[in-house]
């Protein structure tokens, strides 16, 4: 039963009293199956929407008095939006009611109301797997980002966060390919990494020769290397070389094999982009090739003293420049 106006001396019937009592404990419910505009008779009642599509519940001025209330609830799958027509409607939550959501419309004047949302879902703005809660001045949705992106603080964004491609950490491929000719030059190396790592696998040549690494195409005698060998525990020192020695002549067979074997090497160069220090180069190599006497492995430290500038290129070359690479691969990575 809608809110009634009584006059002095009016006698209520039992039916009227029962109806008022029923409405006091169980508000009169009117079901709407389409968009609806509130009327004065809706005060004190419960408006229930049951629609499959989105609809509006419109609020106009001049129909309700300060202190009047009514409940708006949504039973259907379609979203019901409490919409200000000629009246003003404010809320601290949302005016959109999803299925099984409800709220109380409270009038503070004939032309203004406050909607107290009792959203059964907690007013969540999240809609998609992986969404996150954000906040600007109200709760808001941060949509899930693309694969392999990371959440990053950004004050220029309305919610202060964004999904972005990682800018640091991990190894990044710079160059890779096959060894050929007498040398392979890896040029234009970016200076944006902390360390370089060069992997060389299964190199072999067409005639006896050794392999060297040169920095910035510098073939002058400014390289020195100290090696220790796993099979002999012996140390070998060489200085004044025209490139970094991968293996030294004191080991059992220093020339590269002339057929495919199991030779590999790893070179690490930290602080390669520094412009005020000489560069240290760390080497590790291993082979079990019969071409190298059945097996040898070792670790080395080399120094490039051709200048303190950044290393911007690396050249993998045969020592004498007469033999050519018949096979093998290389891969250069940068670490941030």
Pick the more confident residue, 230 or 30: 30
Confidence of residue 269 (pLDDT cuts 50, 70, 90): very high
pLDDT of residue 75: 95
Q: How many CB atoms lie within 10 A of CB 127?
A: 8
**CATH number for region 14-117:** 2.60.120
pLDDT of residue 45: 93
> Does CATH number 2.60.120 belong to domain 171-335?
yes
Pick the more confident residue, 234 or 314: 314
pLDDT of residue 239: 67
The region of weakest confidence among 31-35, 103-107, 166-170 is 166-170
Per-residue pLDDT for 293 more than 50?
A: no
Give per-residue pLDDT as tens, 31-63: 999 999 999 999 999 999 999 999 999 999 999
Distances (CA, A) of 47 to 44, 77, 239: 10, 16, 92
- Number of Cα atoms under 13 Å in the Cβ half of residue 119: 18
Across the chain, what does the average pLDDT equal?
84
Tell me the pTM. 0.51
Regarding beta strands 325-335 and 171-178, do their DSSP bridges make them parallel or antiparallel, or are they unpaired?
antiparallel
Regarding beta strands 195-205 and 264-270, do their DSSP bridges make them parallel or antiparallel, or are they unpaired?
antiparallel
pLDDT of residue 251: 41
Pick the more confident residue, 100 or 286: 100
Pick the more confident residue, 136 or 267: 267
Distances (CA, A) of 111 to 66, 74, 166, 289: 9, 24, 52, 92
Same fold, 14-117 and 171-335: yes
Give per-residue pLDDT as tens, 174-215: 999 999 999 999 999 999 999 999 999 988 999 988 888 999
| In the chain, where the domains are located | 14-117, 132-164, 171-335
Q: Give SS3 for 278.
A: coil
Per-residue pLDDT for 232 more than 80?
A: no
Beta bridge partners of 304: 223, 279
Pick the more confident residue, 120 or 133: 133
């Amino acid at each position: 039963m809608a809110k009634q106006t009584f006059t002095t001396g009016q006698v209520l019937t039992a039916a009227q009293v029962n109806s008022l009592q029923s409405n006091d404990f169980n508000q009169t419910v009117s079901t709407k199956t389409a968009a609806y505009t509130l009327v004065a008779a809706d005060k004190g009642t419960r408006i229930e929407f049951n629609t499959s599509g989105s609809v509006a519940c419109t609020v106009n001025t001049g129909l309700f008095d300060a202190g009047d209330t009514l409940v708006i609830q949504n039973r259907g799958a379609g979203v019901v939006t409490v919409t200000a027509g000629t009246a003003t409607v404010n809320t601290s939550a949302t005016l959109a009611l999803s299925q099984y959501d409800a709220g109380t419309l409270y009038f503070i004047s004939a032309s203004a109301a406050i909607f107290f949302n009792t959203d059964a879902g907690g007013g969540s703005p999240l809609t998609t797997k992986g969404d996150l809660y954000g906040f600007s001045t109200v709760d808001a949705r941060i949509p899930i980002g693309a694969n392999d992106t990371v959440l990053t603080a950004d004050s220029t964004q309305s919610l202060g966060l964004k999904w972005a491609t990682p800018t640091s950490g991990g190894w990044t491929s710079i160059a890779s390919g096959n060894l050929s000719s007498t040398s392979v030059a890896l040029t234009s190396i970016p200076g944006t990494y902390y360390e370089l790592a060069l992997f060389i696998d299964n190199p072999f040549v067409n005639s006896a020769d050794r392999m060297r690494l040169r920095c910035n195409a510098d073939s002058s005698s400014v390289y020195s290397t100290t090696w220790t060998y796993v099979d002999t525990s012996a140390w070998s020192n060489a200085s004044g070389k025209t490139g970094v020695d991968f293996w030294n002549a004191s080991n059992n067979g220093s020339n590269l094999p002339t057929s495919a074997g199991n030779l590999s090497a790893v070179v690490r160069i930290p602080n390669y982009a520094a412009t005020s220090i000489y560069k240290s180069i760390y080497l590790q190599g291993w082979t079990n090739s019969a071409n190298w006497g059945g097996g040898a492995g070792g670790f080395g430290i080399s120094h490039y003293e051709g200048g303190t500038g950044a290393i911007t290129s690396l050249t993998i070359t045969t020592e004498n420049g007469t033999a050519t690479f018949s096979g093998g691969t290389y891969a250069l990575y940068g670490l941030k």
